[in-house]
């Protein structure tokens, strides 16, 4: 089954303790992206990757890192989490990104992170 | 920069009622427009899209028309079902930023 898999689904951690949220897709997609969803703000892009070893900042990259060593995986790393990073995180992928409405984004089921 | 504005929810309707969720946008150029739907506990799924002015996107009984003159992309459905209860997001594509710009989402609750 074609899917984007995120782990874990729920995570509670403390300020400053490094964590990684994994994202894997099995559709051979070139484009991958991370979004965070906050009430009243919709989804905002954190980082994206056009292909292996190619990553770039989105709208809210501060406090996050990513890597794209393999096509299928795009982990999100919080080196020193803070309470303002408490949010619902989504990984998404697409065959390619097209501004003209090309292949759709496929989303994972989300990771709810709480930083205390 | 680009932005998307949606009507605030929740929108509560009875089954078989008519649905409209308003969406307006601000963008440079000619973006593509989308509606995504998020069911409880799941990620977003593409519902429909339109890539140029006057295009109508449709899927599962939902429709939206790309209106350039009013910069709008309102979502409509003639007869909602309980299974349509979800959060609906309007979005536009931004090729320069390699991202979708999303509205804040509108929660729809359909009562039997």
pLDDT band for A100, please (50, 70, 90 cuts): low
Q: Are A49 and A23 spatial neighbours (Cβ–Cβ below 8 Å)?
A: no
A50 at the B interface (CB within 8 A)?
A: yes
C-beta atoms of A99 and B100 within 8 A:
no
Chain A neighbors of B42, CB-CB under 8 A = 109-110
pLDDT in tens, A19-35: 999 999 999 999 999 99
Q: How confident is the model at residue B56 (pLDDT cuts 50, 70, 90)?
A: very high
Share of residues in chain B with pLDDT > 70 (%): 97
Q: Mind listing the pLDDT tens digit for each residue in A65-85?
A: 999 999 999 999 999 999 999
Instruction: Centre a 10 Å sphere on the Cβ of residue B56 and count the other Cβ atoms it contains.
Output: 10
Q: What proportion of chain A, given as a percentage, has pLDDT over 90?
A: 85
What is the pLDDT at residue A105? 86
pLDDT of residue A52: 93
Q: Is B28 on the interface with A (CB under 8 A)?
A: no
Distance from CA of A29 to the nearest CA of B (A): 15
- Count CB-CB contacts under 10 A for residue B35: 24
Do residues A84 and A50 make contact, with C-beta atoms less than 8 angstroms apart? no
């Amino acid at each position: 089954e074609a899917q984007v898999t995120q782990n874990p689904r729920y995570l509670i951690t403390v300020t400053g303790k490094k964590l990684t949220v994994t994202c894997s897709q099995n559709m051979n997609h070139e484009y991958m992206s991370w979004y965070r969803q906050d009430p009243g703000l919709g989804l905002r892009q954190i980082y994206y990757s056009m292909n292996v070893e190619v990553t770039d900042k989105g709208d809210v990259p501060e406090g996050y890192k990513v890597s794209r060593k393999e096509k299928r995986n795009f982990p999100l790393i919080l080196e020193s989490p803070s309470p303002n990073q408490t949010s619902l995180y989504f990984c998404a992928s697409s065959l390619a990104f097209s501004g003209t409405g090309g292949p759709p984004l496929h989303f994972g089921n989300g990771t709810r992170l709480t930083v205390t | 920069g680009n932005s998307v504005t949606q009507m605030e929810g929740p929108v509560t309707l009875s089954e078989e009622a008519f649905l409209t969720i308003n969406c307006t946008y601000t963008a440079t150029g000619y973006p593509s427009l989308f509606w995504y739907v998020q069911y409880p506990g799941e990620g977003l799924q593409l519902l429909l899209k339109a890539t140029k002015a006057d295009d109508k996107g449709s899927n599962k009984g939902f429709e939206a028309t790309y209106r350039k003159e009013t910069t709008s992309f309102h979502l409509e459905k003639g007869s909602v079902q309980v299974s349509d209860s979800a959060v609906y997001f309007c979005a536009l594509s931004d090729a320069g930023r390699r991202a979708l710009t999303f509205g804040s989402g509108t929660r729809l609750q359909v009562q039997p």
